[in-house]
Each structure stands twice: as structure tokens, then as C-alpha cells.
Amino acid sequence: MSARTAVIAVLAAACLLLVAAGPAAAVTFTIPVGGSDRCLECHAKPDLGTIEVNGVEKSLTVSADGYHDSMHGRLDCTSCHAGFEAREHTPEETEGWYEQARLTACSDCHADQAKMYDKSFHGNLVMNEGSIKAPACASCHGSHYIEDPTTTAFREKIPEICGKCHGERTFTYEDTYHGKSVTLGDTSRAVCTDCHGYHSILPESNPASSVSPQNVVKTCGKCHESANTRFSSFLVHVDRSTPKSSFWVWLMEINHAVLIGVLFTLGGLHCILYFYRGLREGMYHRG
């Protein structure tokens, strides 16, 4: 038997043994638990104080229970705050910590989401224009108390999360059927991210946006199978109190207000005259 034939025979026998042994057990990865407790010995203190970041005071206190119950509760603090040690921090450690934690820490584990974010409207403002007001990861997901974004509890908070920057849009959203349904507890109805996306949000003027004229019918069709161009032209974010938003909607709102005002005025006048007539004719005197 040649050497080549012997090698092939050995490999074949090994394959047969592997098949006979059944499927291999899944590989599991474990993350050391307890590393963050060293940091929380100081940072869980309620009187630790604050630090100013871009003109905003941020608390240095982290709730131990809140952190351990979060999605990152099993991660060591240095997973995001690289270069820190569990002791009083030196200026070298703290230099640039906020930018690192805000912009790069999440991408170490969430690379796919980070790529989508970088190409989004929000990401362009933060990464390319250096905006400190545009939302980064923690602006929506939080930092130390990150929730599971697939839960109903998180979904209920989405209008509130987006409303931190887009308050006027939240107001007009809550005036729609979708908004009223979600407010009343029906979270199966559309929230902001169902229409606008989440990590890859783009303005309506961008052809790649989920709410652009090119894609809005498809976006509506995710929930409304019979959606067409006319259906998707429905005005969602309309402020009925100003003609700048939609003149015709504003005009109908004014007409409605006038109609209700006239109706109640005439109705009230009729009741007053009817009551006055009764007094004059003795209708309310007991016989």
C-alpha cells in the first residue's frame, strides 16, 4: 500500500468515527463575571458626584442592580472603557474617554450595526461633521442600563426616545391612528423605527431612505399588503394648528373649530331662551 493510499484510508476512517460519534457539541463562550464589581465599589456610591461632558453634567454613579440586570451585565466595564483600571483614575486614563465610549466602544462587538450607523444621517453628523448633539448609540440604547431592543417594553419607549430630538414629530405622530393605538397599549402598530428604520436612518430626500418616494410604498406594504402610491401619500406628520404644515388640513381644522363653536353657541342660546320662556309662562311653578 502506497503512502498516499494509507493517508486517504486514515482520513476516511477518521470521518467515519466522527459521523458515528454524532454531531459535535456546540462551542460555548463564557465571559468572566465579577470584574465590573471592582469598579462598582466606587461607582455605585450615590454621592460620587458628576462630571461635565460637552457642557452637560453627567452622574458618575452607576446602579449596581441596574447594570447587572442590563444586556451588558456580564461584561467587564473595561469592555467599553478601555484602558481603565479599578483605582482612582489618572488624567492619562480619562483623556478622551467619552469619545471612545460614545463612538468606538459599541462597534467592537456590534460591527454590522456600526457600519449601518456610519452611513446613516445620524452617523454622518456624528462621525463626519463632529456633531455633539446628534444621537450616537447610547442616545437611544442607553449606556449602563441597556435593555433588550426586541422586547415590548423597549418598543413602547421608541416614540419617547425619538422625541428627545424630534419632539414636534412625536406630537404629530401621536395624533395619528398609529400613535393613538401605541399610546393605548397596542404595540403591534407602527412606531418610528418601523417606517424610518433604526441604524440606517436616512432623510426622505435620499433615494435609499425607507420613506423616500421610491421606497415608501414598500415600507407601508410591510403592514398593509394592499398599499399603493395613493395609500402611501397619506400625510403622517401634519401639525393641524399651522398652515405651514398643510394648508388644507389646517383649513379643515379651522372649519371644524368654527362649526363646533357655532353649534354649541346656538345650542346654548336655544337652552337659555327656552328656560327664559318657561320662567315667563310659569312652567316651573308648582301648582
Query: Quick one: pLDDT at residue 3?
Result: 57
Q: Does 164 fall in a domain?
A: yes
Query: Quick one: pLDDT at residue 24?
Result: 41
Query: Quick one: pLDDT at residue 13?
Result: 59
pLDDT, averaged in runs of 10, over the chain (287 residues): 55 52 40 70 91 86 93 89 86 85 87 94 92 91 92 93 90 90 91 94 95 95 93 87 84 91 95 89 73
Query: Quick one: pLDDT at residue 8?
Result: 54
Q: Does 103 fall in a domain?
A: yes
Query: Quick one: pLDDT at residue 28?
Result: 38
What are φ and ψ of residue 85, in 5° steps? -125, 160
Query: Quick one: pLDDT at residue 30?
Result: 41
Query: Quick one: pLDDT at residue 101?
Result: 86
Q: Does 90 fall in a domain?
A: yes
Domain that holds residue 224: 147-237
Q: Does 17 fall in a domain?
A: no
Contacts of 32 (CB under 8 A, 6+ apart): 76
DSSP the chain: --HHHHHHHHHHHHHHHHHHT-SPPPP-----SSHHHHHHHHHT-TT--EEEETTEEEE----HHHHHTSTTTTS-GGGTSTT--SSSPPHHHHTTHHHIIIIITGGGT-HHHHHHHHTSHHHIIIIIT--SSS--HHHHH-SSSPPPTTSHHHHHHHHHHHHTT-HHHHHHHTTSHHHHHHHTT-TTS--HHHHH-STT---TTSTTSTTSTTTHHHHHHTT-TT--HHHHT---S--TT-TTT-HHHHHHHHHHHHHHHHHHHHHHHHHHHHHHHHHHTTTTS--
Q: Does 21 fall in a domain?
A: no
**137 and 41 belong to one structural domain:** yes
Q: What is the pTM of this model?
A: 0.71
Q: Does 9 fall in a domain?
A: no
- Of 89, 124, 146, the residue that ends a domain is 146
Q: How many domains does the chain have?
A: 3
**81 and 140 belong to one structural domain:** yes
> Of 214, 209, 215, 216, whose CA–CA distance to 236 is shortest?
216
- Of 146, 166, 192, the residue that ends a domain is 146
Burial (CB < 10 A; 0-12, 13-18, 19+), residue 28, is exposed
**233 and 254 belong to one structural domain:** no
